[in-house]
Amino acid sequence: MDMTRIDTLFRQRRSGHTLPQDLYIGADTFDFDMAAIYGESWLAVGMECELPKTGSYISLMIGKWPVIIVRDKRGDIRAFHNSCRHRGSLICQPGSGTAPKLVCPYHRWTYDLDGSLFAATRMPTDFDKSLHGLKPVAMENIAGALFICLSETPPPIDDFREKLTAYAAPHNYKDLKLAHQNVLVEYANWKLVMENARECYHCPTGHPELATSFPVGMSKHFDTADQTKALTFAAQLDELGIPHDPVEGPWWQVARFALNEGTNSISMDGQHLSKKLLYAGNDGDIGSMRFAVDPHSFSHSTADHVFLFSAVPVSSTETHAYNKWYVHKDAVEGIDYHLPSMAELWDVTNLQDKQLAENNHRGVNSRGYTPGPYSQEAEMLAQRFVDWYCDKARAYIDAHVD
């Protein structure tokens, strides 16, 4: 990784504008992004409900980095690098399951659920098992939402924890269940995927289905043009004691905003996707509580369901978009909700976004590409994302250049 070249690229960045070309398409800048951004940030990976009992685990990939999340015997959620301390083999295959202990399939080295090495055959008598436990990954369980950080010095998370705990309370994340999940492969740089996910300038023409419920004409921090509805909505929430004003930190945002008139959920028809509500008050309409975590995710919680989107790159030109839908744990499939319609709105929206991001990537390859201006009114959050990216990169460069 040529840090001098990367430093130069970032110094070429023009404020208020998209990034220099090689930060989007350079194969060498990808390794930098993984180390400086994905390796140093908190990442949303799911909900506690996905690990219902002792030994429940999720095995997932952060790009090419394998991670295991597991519920230990005390009921705590822990995260580890998914790599045996013997020869480095993957211990759990990507997916989820339950296991009394974590056993490497290669030579049967066996780990306790707290990551400590329990058994390794044919090793010498003076072999110190205590030095060969699974390497831990930082884990935060915030009101039932799970975040990991692969850095040994994770960024401060106290403010985010406090705010998300308060804003997510009505949705009772501890009582969720995972109803559906899928992955979409996008052949575009991850930053183009995320810039797209951070603005709705393209929504009115790009996402007709989303526009049913979503205030696609919003500006800045989900400010809608329809101030009458916004004020009424704010008064209702205040009455219910539900926080809603946009709050943010360096790498996160949390807000609650009103959905379009006549809608109460983000779905094809704007109506609840699950009859078993997470919050039954106010006629089941508390708008959408959106939280977003840089570099890679956003989530919308309505009265009936929670949607979580996260994007992870595997190369400079390929990004995997993970999507998860949660409903109340007591909701019954086929009665309270229907799987075919559960994913419909975000599937169609994600496919539209995939096409836009891939088309964007192809154009950014142009020999004539130069950084262009963000709309300060319509793309403020995209610009905020890129600013955060440049600041985060700057900190890493300064720490790693002599």
Closest distance to its own copies from the beta carbon of 306 (Å)? 28
Measured distance CA(10)–CA(138) in Å, rounded:
29
Among 206, 246, 281, 284, binds its own copies (CB under 8 A): 206
Closest distance to its own copies from the beta carbon of 210 (Å)? 16
Measured distance CA(21)–CA(35) in Å, rounded:
20
Which SS3 state, helix, strand or coil, does residue 119 take? strand
Q: How many Cβ atoms sit within 10 Å of the Cβ of residue 332?
A: 12
Return the range that interacts with its own copies (CB under 8 A); candidates 45-53, 62-70, 222-230, 301-309. 62-70
- Closer residue to its own copies, CB minimum distance, 13 or 85: 85
Nearest CA among 46, 66, 47, 43 for reference residue 295: 43
Asked if 90 touches its own copies (CB under 8 A), the answer is yes
Return the range that interacts with its own copies (CB under 8 A); candidates 106-114, 237-245, 301-309, 334-342. 106-114
Helix (H) or strand (E) holding 385, with range, is helix 380-400
Tokens for 216, please give them: 């696609």
Closest distance to its own copies from the beta carbon of 101 (Å)? 15
Nearest CA among 188, 210, 183, 187 for reference residue 199: 210
H helices of 291-379, in order, are: 339-342, 344-364
Taking the alpha carbons at both ends of the chain, their separation in whole angstroms is: 14
Among 123, 138, 234, 268, binds its own copies (CB under 8 A): 123
Asked if 195 touches its own copies (CB under 8 A), the answer is yes
Among 113, 137, 266, 273, binds its own copies (CB under 8 A): 137
Q: Among positive and negative, which fits the CA dihedral 141, 144, 150, 151?
A: negative
Q: How far is CA 342 from the centre of its chain?
A: 19
Among 44, 60, 150, 277, binds its own copies (CB under 8 A): 150
Among 53, 228, 330, 367, binds its own copies (CB under 8 A): 367
Among 102, 360, 384, 396, binds its own copies (CB under 8 A): 360
Residue where the block lists tokens 């995939």: 354
Return the range that interacts with its own copies (CB under 8 A); candidates 87-95, 154-162, 296-304, 321-329. 87-95
Asked if 91 touches its own copies (CB under 8 A), the answer is yes
Helix (H) or strand (E) holding 390, with range, is helix 380-400
Among 365, 391, 395, 401, binds its own copies (CB under 8 A): 365
Q: How many residues can be counted in the chain?
A: 402
- Contact residues: its own copies, CB under 8 A: 18, 24, 39, 62, 64-66, 80-91, 93, 105-108, 122-124, 127, 132, 134-135, 137, 150, 195, 201-202, 205-206, 356, 359-360, 362-370, 372-373, 375-378
